[in-house]
Structure 1
Amino acid sequence: MKWRALAGAMIAALAVGGCAQGLGGGTYARTEARRAMTVQFGTIEAVRAVQLEGTKTPIGSVAGAAIGGIAGNTVGGGRGQAVATVIGAVAGGLAGSAVEEGATRQAGVEVTVRLDNDQFLAVVQADEGEGFRPGERVRVLRDAGTTRVSR
């Protein structure tokens, strides 16, 4: 029975990686389809590689706590077993949260654009291999607080 619970918790932890929303310039949410966006044009002034932190949802903590609690429960007996279960759950929760954040972390790019109206704008988005370069002409698309750079 313990192994089934452990397997279920591990599957939940692995599923966390698929829950992250895309943060690249070419990734759109379904709700963004068929909505007008403001488009500005400009020239890239600078490009810098950045790291986008991973997600921090309760899923990683809960899955880790379940795995840690089950592992702790297999240690000792009586009162020692109860203490080991609690310690395992707490340590597992912390580890699960760290694993989730690390698994969903991704490379990003900070693109500084001089718009045609001479304003500067810096946009951070996931690096989807666009290979932006200084001097290149790009579009800046804006909608409801979301800004992205594309060709």
Structure 2
Amino acid sequence: MKRLTSIAVILLGALVLGGCAQQSLTGDTYSRREARQVQHVQYAVVDSVRPVVIEGRTDGVVGAGAGAIVGGVAGSTLGGGKGSTITSVLGAVAGGIAGQRIEEATSRRQGQELTLRMDNGELISVVQEVENNQFFRVGDRVRVLRSGATMRVTY
């Protein structure tokens, strides 16, 4: 029975970690909060493109929490008496660290740094996630959508 419970908790932890993916940072994805909001539209030409990596989430508690639970349960199945308590604590700590690292790795994204020459001559730079491995290219004519501090580049 204890083994079955451990397996169930490990599977549950894997499902929770699967939900750690961060919101998309592409130019074509909008949050519910951004829908139906006014955006200022400008046009530009892509001056340069550089591939970058957008770091994964490190501020989430889901990965660390799920990892700690899974590690604690897995650790509790080892040893007996006080040994079981010690392995539970060590398993929880190790699981929490591993869970946080898994969350960061699974939410890391391929991005691109775009330098844009706006129609008014201004030169700006913006970083956004690459969608379907489609990078913008130097010379592309693009739309720049701004709403508050949020900016996105689209065709």
Change (3 A) 1:62 1:120: same
Matches of residues 113-128 of structure 1 in structure 2 within 5 Å?
A: 113-128=116-131
Q: Which runs of 5+ in 2 are unaligned?
A: none
Percent identity over the alignment is 42
1:44 alignment partner, one of 26, 46, 50: 46
Which contiguous aligned blocks of 4+ residues in structure 1 show a shift greater than 6 angstroms?
Answer: none
> Do structure 1's residue 82 and structure 2's residue 99 form an aligned pair?
no
Tell me, yes or no, if the aligned pair for 2:53 and 2:108 is still in contact at 8 Å. Answer: yes
Q: Which residue of 2 aligns with 1:31?
A: 33
Distance 2:10 2:143 in 1: 48
In 1, distance between residues paired with 2:12 and 2:135?
40
Structure 1, 26-35 or 84-93: larger mean CA deviation: 26-35
Give ranges in structure 1 of 5+ residues lacking alignment: none
The count of corresponding residues between Structure 1 and Structure 2 is 149
From 14, 24, 31, the equivalent of 1:10 is: 14
73, 87, 99: which is aligned to 1:70? 73
TM-score (norm 1): 0.92
Structure 2 counterpart of 1:41, which letter?
A: Y
TM-score with structure 2 setting the length: 0.90
Shift of 1:130: 3.8
The secondary structure found in structure 2 opposite 1:117 is: coil
